[in-house]
Amino acid sequence: MTIRQAMILAAGLGTRMRPITDRLPKPLVKIGGKPMIDYAIEALRDAGVETLVVNVHHHADQMEDHLVSITDMRILISDERSQLMDSGGGLAKGLSLLEQDLPCLVMNADLFWVGDEGGSQSNLARLSRWFDPERMDMAMLCVGLEKTTGHNGKKDFSLSPDGRLTRYVEGATDPVVYAGAFALMPSFLADAPKEPFNLNRYFDRAIGAGRLYGMRLHGEWLTVGTPDAIAPAEAVVQRYRKGA
């Protein structure tokens, strides 16, 4: 299926990126001449998304000014100026603005990839087709450590042959990193608390039910958490632009 609605999580403080984020929201930090959030927006657009929610908090006015320029998608703002809701609370609040009975894609604004095949074979297009709410609470993109740049080396999950994910424990086979994108039905968070909470609560719920699934992404995944991580990310982007 083609998933037509999505949310980008973009409200974080970006404290590890200071002093850059003293004056700029982290999603607007440029890598390869382009704000990081634009990599996510372009991937969602390419996958067929038409309605997009973005949550804002840190330098919220700058985020809104940037999003105004997007005219080929319906943009909805989930405003967290008064209270930062953490990853889970922010997602639950944003999803309430979308159709509850239709699937949704979710991406982080500061995690992205290059080397995607694009079109019907793009990472998000494949994930959208694969997501099956009859079997899955969440289906997420995952990546092996060898395909990451800027990552701290932490292994998040183990990927089983049938696609199920479990929390990684030392010595487990097929470790993968959560690549910052997943599909779900918004109603999965219908019972979420109204206060801030971490999204890991719902990852663990899906794991407990045997309903968290993972798909490997094509290309190379980048995370830019500190100013020192900008140069390595720039190098990867330039390498792929030159046809690596």
Residue pLDDT, tens place only, 53-111: 999 999 999 999 999 999 999 999 999 999 999 999 999 999 999 999 999 999 999 89
CATH of the domain at 233: 3.90.550.10
Average pLDDT over every residue of 134-161: 92
Q: State residue 75's pLDDT score.
A: 97
Name which of 215, 217, 24, 9 is nearest 95 in CA terms: 9
Tell me the per-residue pLDDT of 172-196, one tens digit each, with 9 for 90 and over.
788 999 999 999 999 999 999 999 9
Residue 244 scores a pLDDT above 60: no
Domain count for the chain: 1
Q: How confident is the model at residue 120 (pLDDT cuts 50, 70, 90)?
A: confident
The overall average pLDDT reported for the chain is 93
The share of the chain scoring above pLDDT 90, in percent, equals: 84
Q: Are the C-beta atoms of residues 25 and 63 closer than 8 Å to each other?
A: yes
| pTM, 2 dp | 0.94
Place of tokens 């407990």: 208
Tell me the per-residue pLDDT of 10-37, one tens digit each, with 9 for 90 and over.
999 989 999 999 999 999 999 999 999 9
Domain that holds residue 233: 5-241
